[in-house]
Each structure stands twice: as C-alpha cells, then as structure tokens.
Structure 1
Amino acid sequence: MTRVVDGETIILDDGKAVRLIGALAPRARDANAAAGGWPPELDTIKALSDLVLAKKIKLAFAGRRTDRYGRTLAHVFLADRGQQDWVQGTLLANGYARAYGLPDSFACARELLAHEAEAQRKRLGLWSNGVYRTFPADHASELMKLRGKYVRVTGKVVSVGRTKSATYLNFSNDWQSDFTVRIGKKVLAANVTFDHSLDSLTGKTVVLRGWIERRNGPMIDIADPSQIDVPEAPDAPANVSERNSISPNPIQPVRLPADPI
C-alpha cells in the first residue's frame, strides 16, 4: 500500500487505484464547506491512513469490478500478523463512513449496515455531526436543497403506486411535489420477495438512504432492497462481526464478514 487519496480511495504498489466500495467517506461538499477544510473528511483520511499505509492488504470482489472513473471496486482486508481485519467494517463501526452501495455492487450490505448502526447508536464520529442527521420526509423543500447528496430520510408511507416501469412509495398525497421513492422494474424483478412486500408498507414508518434527485419533487431511486429499512421489521440487519477486544490503535478493527464475499 503506497498512498491514500481520500477517505475511500487507496493506491496500491502497482499504481492501481482501489475504491473501498460500501463505505462512503465524508466530503466537504456534504456541508458545502471549503475543500480540504471539513473535519469529518480529514478525520476519515487519517483513520484510513492509520489502517492501511505500509500494510499488506487483500482485495475481495463481488459484482461490478470498476467504477466510471476506472477505479477498482473492492472490499479491503488487512493481511498483517495473520489477521484479516475488514477495512470497510472498521471505518463504519467507528463512525468514519456511511454504508452505501452502487448498482450491481451491494455485497455484504447487511453487514455494512450493522456496523454503521453500531456507530450511530454510540454517536461516534460523523454521527455526532448534524450534517449527517436523518431528514424527515415531509420537509420536501429542505430535501430539495440536498439534491445530489447522499442522505437518510424517514417518514410514513402514505401510499404505494405501481406503473409498468416502477413502483413508487409516496409520503404525501401530493406526490408531484413532495418526497417520493422509486423502485425500477429491474430491481423489482431481481428481488421478487421484496417486490411483494412493498404493498404492506402503507401506513408504516420507514428509513430510506440514497442520493436525492429531482423528479417533480425530491426523490430517491432505489437500486437495492437494503436502501429501505422498516425499523419494526423482524428481518433486521445482521449482527456485527467479531471485533478485537483490545487494540493498541484507538480505531477498533473489525474482522471478516460473517458471510464471506
């Protein structure tokens, strides 16, 4: 490992750029701050540097291998001292990143969300910063200001609408201007049980995650079922992986996922 570019990109000895899929690092643009001056971003870069610089690593792949910039998409594991600490899990469990995925690249989503939930519960790292709070679905004007940003939104589903191309979760009766969630037919076809469960969401409070787009009002386009969480649902995120009880580093390392990639 030769260099850390930012909180989610590393450069290997052979010059290959690797993007840590599944762990979204804070960026100055999250808070409309000046580049290079956003403390959560700097904290994550330091944490990642402490974890991987001058260390041997292993890469694991599932789904897409590259992003649109040609970077390798991988889960990264430290291979030093006979251990295989999971870098993404470690960043999430310590509040240095948020769980996310890209289309065709949501491997270990449940594990990633479980580690994020642990940090959120303890208000670690970025979870003590109001910029990363969960936004109410009924504040459409506030959500519209977040266009292009990755956020968490919570609200009660007023209705579920279906068309030939997609299913929509509506959070008010004015679906043309208020917050909406869209799930395209490709996602529905690949997740039949999830598709069948959507009609039962009417009247339930859910938590969504994704990038805010503008489709009439603010909207999140769902690429994977893991982007929708029903807090009272019995199918909760997986338990976090086993963690070291003692570490000389203040960053608590996380071991391999329970379900290997």
Structure 2
Amino acid sequence: MHVAIFSLLASPAVALPPAAESGPCSLDAAAPATVAAVDEDFELLLDDGRRAAISGLEFPPPAVAPQRDLRAAAHKRLSSWIVGRDVFVAAFGGATDRWGRMPARAYAPTGDGAASPIVSVGAALLEEGLARFRPDPSAAPCAADYRMAEATAREAARGLWAEPAARPVLAGEGAAAALQGRKGMTLLEGRITSVGETKATVYLNFGQKRADNASVVVLRRNLAILQASGIDPRTLVGRLVRVRGLVEAAFGPRIEISSPAEIEILEPAAP
C-alpha cells in the first residue's frame, strides 16, 4: 500500500478533457481566484478571505492506515496543484453554509503553460482515486461528470478503490452481514426485485428477506424530485442500480435516497 501511495503522489494528473465552457458543470459563471492554502479539511482558503469547499467529494477519513495515508496523499496532491495558483471558482448557489464555506466547483490548469487545458479539480481527484463522489444536493449539477470520473478510478482499483471498504456492497443475500457496522457513506449495488409502498414511503427491495437483502427507502415527499429527473422508483423492478448514502439498520439494512444524485441505473430498461 505504501508503494501504491508513493506512486500516486509521484504520478501526473490523470488526463481529463478540458472543462466545458457552458452547461450545468462548466466554466460558466466561474471567476478567477487565488488559493492561499488548503486546510486539513480540504477547504480552499482564498487570498481574498473567502473559504470554499469543493462540493461532491468525500475524502478518505483521518483514521488508521491506509485511510490516513490516502488522505495525506489526497491533501498533498491538491495542495501541490493549486496552492499559490490562479484557479477558477464557481459557487453552487449564492449562500455560504453554516460553517461559512462557499460550496463550489473549482477548475485549474493542468500545467504551467498558457496553453495548458483547464480541467475540473473535483473530477481530477475522483479520476485519480483520491476521493469518492458524495451526492451533496449542491453538487447535483456535476453528478453525471463526477460519477463518470469516479467510475474510471473504481474500475481500475486506483487509489482508495484498492480498499475493499470503499467499493460497492452487493445488495443480495448476505448484504446485512456485509453492511453491519458500516459508518459514513456506503455504496450499495444490486437488482431491484420488488417495490413496496406505505402511506408515507416507497421501498425498493433487493430480495424477499428485507432484513438480510437490504432495501432503498424513498419518502413520498421526495418522489417528485426523482420523477422530475426521469427516475420513477416504481418502474425499477428488475433493474440493476447503485445507490449511495448512510446505512440505517433499525428495520433491516437500508439506505434512504432523496435526490437523483444518490441513485444510478446501471442498465437500460428491457425493450
């Protein structure tokens, strides 16, 4: 693992296409800024006094090795890339969060030359396996781009994806045992076998035994949000999906979702 982390630090950024000029996750509305420092929580401290947090990224936790070592690698990579450099920052929304940070997306050139392409900092860190996509509501415009970048690292078992705890848990038989004690964001992947409904909730079940197979919970008040994005939970029977969120264990392992950024449909509907 130490060898892999050393290689990660020594390697150049993974090649990404230049950032789009327009669209929901683009340079549009991004303004020049200079990064004075990246603090221990990965906040960008700008030289004009503002603090920005790159929305949609979950960095390795400051726990025991190897997570601690991966977190240090991610911090070193980000700091060495953007501190003291002019970047472009675009706020998600107009307000700071309760900690005084500006939820944002950031873009930076890949090199020192004037012709160096400008790429998404968040997508680069995801593609290098230094972070996972976290479905923050503010990052929803970048969800598709970030998930695509993350998939490249996950499929190559690059960076944090070399660790079994970071990879998706299969939601079929035995999922309860695999999910026991899970803390923080978990990725759950499986085929929906049935849909159940109550007055307040829609349940997407991965098997007949909810206590063993896991399920996805959608509160009815959030159905319209998913349907507006083209996702109707009631039509997902037989479909392979991946969800991400916090595991609740009180009524069998389940993950509640409330936005389209938290669920990926991994195959097309049957003709």
Q: 1:191 is matched with which residue? A: 226
Change (3 A) 1:37 1:177: closer
Name which of structure 1's ranges 159-168 and 104-113 shifts more when overlaid on structure 2.
159-168
Of 203, 206, 216, 1:181 maps to 216
For 1:196 and 1:88, the matched residues in 2 are separated by 25
Of 165, 177, 198, 1:141 maps to 177
Q: 2:40 is matched with which residue? A: 6
In the TM superposition, what are the counterparts of 1:21-40 in structure 2 within 5 Å?
21-29=55-63, 33=64, 38-40=68-70
Of 75, 82, 85, 1:45 maps to 75
In the TM superposition, what are the counterparts of 1:67-216 in structure 2 within 5 Å?
67-78=97-108, 81=114, 83-138=117-172, 139-146=175-182, 148-175=183-210, 178-192=213-227, 197-216=232-251
For 2:181 and 2:146, the matched residues in 1 are separated by 27
Instruction: Give the fraction of aligned pairs with identical amino acids, expressed as a percent.
Output: 28
Would the aligned equivalents of 2:192 and 2:236 in 1 still touch at CA under 8 Å? yes
- Amino acid of the residue matched to residue 91 of structure 2? F
Q: 1:220 is matched with which residue? A: 255
Count of residues in Structure 1 that have an aligned counterpart in Structure 2: 229
For 1:98 and 1:65, the matched residues in 2 are separated by 24
TM value normalised by structure 1: 0.77
Name which of structure 1's ranges 80-89 and 129-138 shifts more when overlaid on structure 2.
80-89
Query: 1:55: how far off?
Result: 0.7
CA RMSD of aligned residues (A): 2.6
Would the aligned equivalents of 2:106 and 2:121 in 1 still touch at CA under 8 Å? yes
- Name the SS for the 2:210 alignment partner: coil
- Amino acid of the residue matched to residue 125 of structure 1? G
Change (3 A) 1:212 1:58: same
Query: 1:124: how far off?
Result: 1.8
For 1:89 and 1:77, the matched residues in 2 are separated by 9
Which of structures 1 and 2 has the larger relative contact order (alpha carbons within 8 angstroms, sep 6+)?
A: 1
- Amino acid of the residue matched to residue 172 of structure 1? G
Query: 1:48: how far off?
Result: 0.7
Query: 1:24: how far off?
Result: 1.4
Name which of structure 1's ranges 127-136 and 58-67 shifts more when overlaid on structure 2.
58-67
- Name the SS for the 1:28 alignment partner: coil
Query: 1:27: how far off?
Result: 1.0
Query: 1:49: how far off?
Result: 0.7
- Name the SS for the 2:256 alignment partner: strand
- Amino acid of the residue matched to residue 225 of structure 2? A
For 2:202 and 2:229, the matched residues in 1 are separated by 12
For 2:56 and 2:246, the matched residues in 1 are separated by 14
- Name the SS for the 2:208 alignment partner: coil
- Amino acid of the residue matched to residue 178 of structure 2? E
- Amino acid of the residue matched to residue 119 of structure 1? A
- Amino acid of the residue matched to residue 92 of structure 1? L
Runs of 5+ unmatched residues, structure 2 = 1-34
